[in-house]
Structure 1
Amino acid sequence: MTSASDRSGYSHPRSLQGRVAIVTGAARGVGKGIATALLQRGASVLLTDILDDVLEATTAGFKEAGLQAHSLVADLRDTDTPQRIVDTASHTFGAIHALVNNAVACNEPKAFGDISAADYDLVYDTGPRVTFALMQAVHPHLLAAGGGAIVNIGSAAGTAGERNFGAYAGAKEAIRGMSKVAALEWGRDGIRVNVVCPLAETDGLKVLRDLDPKRYQQVVSTTALKRIGDPATDIGPAVAFLIGDDAAYITGQTILLDGGAGSFR
């Protein structure tokens, strides 16, 4: 079986050389994995997150490895944040070619009838609202670059439904809807918009693995590949592909990066 370290070299090591990308929620988990893959392929990346200490450590590690990473601590609930993120990327690197909307916040899982307005507002403010605003803010820069790519992060909680995740599922499906519309409207400008729905070994799944190994194995068993995806070697490279030239004819799509779990439900 091919190891995760072997998989990291599948695509050309400098396939994103000269590209500038923004990745939100990049301090850890899926966002960090995506940033890792983009940086390893030669992109310059602005990492944003609200977790200042974790973001600083992550960015420092990238810089020590000689990668072109820059960080910005940002609270996505602030209305001026999307423009500040885009301005920082443009001023730091001179252009923007790609945007990855990964960040989202949500409260603990609840039955549909127990979800409060505050629960709903949190996931919508940090999910579809800011995704929409960032897409609008970055659009002029992608036009100036002659085109570009946006990858938004969806979830199987929305595509297939997940008990106790009503607000989160709705927020993720809202992101999928706006992604399709943007793909239709911006395609003529050479701007591609796609969605990926990952199943990855995040901190949350690691906690589940430690606290409830049986439930964790049930999650693993839903996949055809019988493993959970690695953020840096499974999820990140797929996003890098969608951003790169090899995906120049792919737009408006939702790709399930879940080891086959969603294909056999």
Structure 2
Amino acid sequence: MRLKGKVGIVTGSGSGIGRGIALAMAKEGANIAIVDINEEKAKSTLQEINQYTEGMLFIKDISKKEYIEEIISEVVGKFGKLDILVNNAHASKQALFKETTMELFDLSFNTGFYPTFYFMKAAYPELKKSKGKVINFASGAGISGQPTQASYAAAKEAIRGITRVAANEWGPEGINVNIIAPIALTEGVKQWRQSASELYEQMINNIPLRRLGDPEQDIGRTAVFLASDDSDYITGQTIMVDGGSIKIY
């Protein structure tokens, strides 16, 4: 129960990696606010959370800035504090670089970068009180420059940039700010595996550990570590939870 008594917000937690993180944290004792745009999936995650701790539910489009301060306020109003902020939500579409449009950049930045930025700003006063933890998300697509991922890679690398700045500025106040860059077997990847089995096998063969990460056991447990006291001397870092696919320093 490494997170017993802690309060966290996890965006994009109706499914996939966000759901895995929310469940892993709840099983370690944290009360979790679920934030997602898909009501059915978010309610399913909430039901599971409530088997272990107490959850809250927000069906909000966080590309709309006005909802973010409202979410922070309601979480603190209910639980009295905020210890953990996980900025996981992000939507994007693939396109060749020469075919990438401003609309694709707007989608990626408005659902990923800007919500991360605004959540961090809104949560800062509470995180300062609790000496809390921020966990943001990057991607190997940005680090390696994956083809067809220009808008996604740009937003993810921008998130890495502000994470390092916040780590430097907020470190003296006891706030840790880190990044997870994952590869995970999400619902979308499972569907893709069925339609592109050969490409899927090629991807697996390029991962030294020869498998994709489990959203809860691999990605979620890493998030638990970064949210716990065990990571108190780690900040500003990108943690590659990708089976060894990318080695950075």
Q: Taking structure 1 as the reference length, what is the TM-score of the superposition?
A: 0.91
CA contact 1:208–1:215 (8 Å) conserved in 2: no
Amino acid aligned to 1:224: P
Q: Which residue, 83, 86, 108 being the options, matches 2:69?
A: 83
Q: 1:26-59 deviations in whole A, cap 9, x for unaligned?
A: 0000000000110000001101000011111221
Amino acid aligned to 2:41: V
* Alpha-carbon distance between aligned partners in 2 of 1:99 and 1:241, rounded to the nearest angstrom: 13
Match of 1:125 in 2: 110
Matched, 1:69 2:55: yes
* Alpha-carbon distance between aligned partners in 2 of 1:66 and 1:148, rounded to the nearest angstrom: 22
Match of 1:221 in 2: 205
Alignment of 1:19-168 (within 5 A): 19-63=6-50, 65-107=51-93, 109-145=94-130, 147-168=131-152
* Alpha-carbon distance between aligned partners in 2 of 1:67 and 1:231, rounded to the nearest angstrom: 19
SS in 2 for 1:263: coil
* Alpha-carbon distance between aligned partners in 1 of 2:145 and 2:55, rounded to the nearest angstrom: 36
Q: 1:244-263 deviations in whole A, cap 9, x for unaligned?
A: 00100000000110000113
Q: CA deviation at 1:125?
A: 0.8
Gaps of 5+ in 1: 1-13
Q: CA deviation at 1:61?
A: 2.6
Match of 2:188 in 1: 204
Q: Which residue, 160, 166, 169 being the options, matches 1:176?
A: 160
CA contact 2:32–2:49 (8 Å) conserved in 1: no
* Alpha-carbon distance between aligned partners in 2 of 1:66 and 1:255, rounded to the nearest angstrom: 27
Q: Identical aligned pairs, as a percentage?
A: 38
Q: 1:207-256 deviations in whole A, cap 9, x for unaligned?
A: 12111111111111111111110000000000110110010000000011
* Alpha-carbon distance between aligned partners in 1 of 2:49 and 2:180, rounded to the nearest angstrom: 24
CA contact 1:49–1:72 (8 Å) conserved in 2: yes
Amino acid aligned to 1:41: E
Matched, 1:190 2:177: no
SS in 1 for 2:247: helix
Amino acid aligned to 2:241: L
Amino acid aligned to 1:182: A
CA contact 2:178–2:237 (8 Å) conserved in 1: yes
Q: Which residue, 223, 227, 234 being the options, matches 2:218?
A: 234
* Alpha-carbon distance between aligned partners in 1 of 2:48 and 2:224, rounded to the nearest angstrom: 20
* Alpha-carbon distance between aligned partners in 2 of 1:86 and 1:60, rounded to the nearest angstrom: 21
SS in 2 for 1:152: strand
Amino acid aligned to 1:198: P
Q: CA deviation at 1:127?
A: 1.1
CA contact 2:168–2:236 (8 Å) conserved in 1: yes
* Alpha-carbon distance between aligned partners in 1 of 2:174 and 2:243, rounded to the nearest angstrom: 30
Amino acid aligned to 2:2: S
Q: Taking structure 2 as the reference length, what is the TM-score of the superposition?
A: 0.97
CA contact 1:123–1:168 (8 Å) conserved in 2: yes
Q: Which residue, 15, 23, 31 being the options, matches 2:2?
A: 15
Runs of 4+ off more than 4 Å: none
